[in-house]
Amino acid sequence: MVELLATRLDNTFHALADPTRRAMLRSLSVQERSVGELAAPFEMSLAAASKHIKVLEKAGLVRREVKGRVHVCRLEAKPLSDVREWLRFYERFWGERVDALEALLRAEAPAAPRGKGRSR
């Protein structure tokens, strides 16, 4: 089970590592798109777009359905929730470290003067 989750995370991070694929996902978050529609903003061939989509499919981020001669893609968000869960550990980790640093800095900070005005 742990190995399966690690493989899914690896595939998801690999898919998200490319800015073209991230843009495709953003586009799919609005609505389903054909391969041609996904390729258009990048001035790439349908074959190149299809390669990107295959990486997204392998990660489970995209489902492709063939409607006649048109391949229609839609976003599948479940792998993104797996990534969010994985990141939560590090969010807590860094939150605790920042809180500890803040406490340390407050403890070491000199007390502010309590007079009416500041001296020049």
Residue 85 lies in a domain: no
Is residue 22 domain-resident?
yes
User: In this structure, is residue 97 part of a structural domain?
Assistant: no
Rounded Cα–Cα distance for residues 105 and 108 (Å)? 5
Where residue 27 sits, what CATH number does that domain have?
Answer: 1.10.10.10
Burial (CB count <10 Å: 0-12, 13-18, 19+), residue 82: middle
Our count of domains for the chain comes to 1
Distance (Å, whole) CA 9 – CA 82: 7
pTM: 0.73
In a domain, 44, yes or no: yes
Q: What is the DSSP letter of 112?
A: P
Per-residue pLDDT of the chain (120 residues; tens, 9 = 90+): 567 678 899 999 999 999 999 999 999 999 999 999 999 999 899 999 999 999 999 999 999 999 999 999 999 999 998 889 888 888 887 887 777 888 888 888 776 566 665 555
C-beta of residue 78 within 8 angstroms of C-beta of residue 32:
no
